[in-house]
Structure formats: structure tokens, C-alpha cells
Amino acid sequence: MKAQTVNKDTTDHQDRAYHFSGGKLIVPSVLISYGVVSLVSNDLKSLNQSTRHETREHIIAGARIDNYMQYAPAAAVYLLNFAGVKGKHKFKDRTMIYAASQLVAAALVLPTKHFVSEVRPDATNHLSFPSGHTATAFSSAQFMFREYQDVNFGLSISGYPVAAMTGIYRVFNDKHWVGDVVAGAGIGILSTEVAYWLFPLISRYLSSKKEVESLSIAPFGQRNTYGITMIKKI
């Protein structure tokens, strides 16, 4: 009788969530395309201007809630798991996925801001396109969706309204045009999808090292930069 090797890794890397699918690119591609077109289309530029005009008439800029709302869906995933509502992954694995999504988002957003050099509505700088806050918010919402879609679908989509409100507040606060926010949403969704596709590779790489005993993650943000800090103890 031949001895069989038991794989102790409980993560099923054959899960469709980890496989590239063209269908998962449709929504982010449409959103990003809208944002890009808004940079050159006179009609969409007019929509940007008219939306700003309406919000400036009825809303006073200055709320800071969007600085915190962008992380709310991701924070909810950890709080729900702590409360016993288990998602798709254990702490270490979901933290690796979320960290990867934020790194991908930063890699897409920050260079694009400098390359496009679009003036913000309030004219504070030339880093308007795309919206980094919205990218973070939708990457977090997509993370929540992927973690809970097989457990509780209603719960899994609850992060999207929070992400949408984050983008809306960026417009209300006169920091972004509508096109910036729409593009940011697409980038955020795409970033999380890429993180799930990369997860088997990242997991195999880390499993080849000494077992991780502690992994912590914290977001950071400055005026023109945002990202995450990850500390690993081995």
C-alpha cells in the first residue's frame, strides 16, 4: 500500500475566486473607461461642472467622514469575524489578500494621479484623477463581498453603499470630479480581484518560509500618499 501525503493547507486554491475571469473585468473596465473618457469628453466635462455647481449651492465642503468611511467595509470584515460571523478566509489569509489589494490600488492610483495631473475642483493641486479614497473604499467593499458572498449574500454587498457614499462625499467636499470618483471605484474593484488572483501565489511563497505567528496591518495616509503598513513576526 502506498503512503499518501496529506495536504494540511485548508485553502482550496482551485476555488474559482482565485482564477482569472474576463467576466470579472466588465464592471471595473466600464467604470474606469467612463473616468478616462470624462477627461476628454466635453459632455462629461459639462456634467462634472454642473454637478459641482449644484453641490456647491446646497452643500458646504469640509466633512471628514470620507477619510474613515473608505476603510469601513474592510474593518467590518474583521469585526464580523471577531463576532463569530466567519467569512471565506482565516485572519492571516484575508489580511494577505487585503494588503495585496491596497498595494495594487496604490500602484495604480498614485502614478496615474501624477501622469494625468488633473486639477482638483478646489484647485488645491493637480492630483484629482482618479480618486484614491474611492479606490480604497471600493477595494474594501469588494473584499467584503468576496469574503461573505458564499456565506450571506445580503451581508456581502452591504459594503457597496458605504463605498458609494465615500465617493459622493469626495464630490461634496470639492476634492474630486464625478469622473474621478467613477474611475476610482473601478480601480478599487479591480485591485481586490487582482489580489484574489494573486493569493495562491502569495500563499505558496509564504508557506515556503517559516510559519507566520503574527501578522498585523494598519492603513496610513498623508496629504498625497496613502497605503498600508504590514508587520510580520516570524
Q: Note whether residue 15 is domain-resident.
A: no
Per-residue pLDDT tens digits for 115-125: 999 999 999 99
pLDDT at position 197: 94
Q: Note whether residue 11 is domain-resident.
A: no
Domain residues for the domain of 67 are 21-44+59-233
Q: Note whether residue 146 is domain-resident.
A: yes
Q: Note whether residue 13 is domain-resident.
A: no
Q: Note whether residue 205 is domain-resident.
A: yes
Q: Note whether residue 72 is domain-resident.
A: yes
Q: What's the burial of 62, exposed, middle or buried (CB within 10 Å: 0-12/13-18/19+)?
A: exposed
pLDDT at position 4: 38
Contact 150, 139 (CB under 8 A): no
- Distance from C-alpha of 35 to C-alpha of 83, rounded to nearest angstrom: 38
pLDDT at position 203: 84
The model's pTM = 0.83
Which of residues 165 and 230 earns the better pLDDT score? 165
pLDDT at position 16: 72
Q: Note whether residue 7 is domain-resident.
A: no
Per-residue pLDDT tens digits for 190-216: 999 999 999 998 888 776 655 544 555
* Number of domains the chain is built from: 1
Q: Note whether residue 191 is domain-resident.
A: yes
pLDDT at position 205: 79
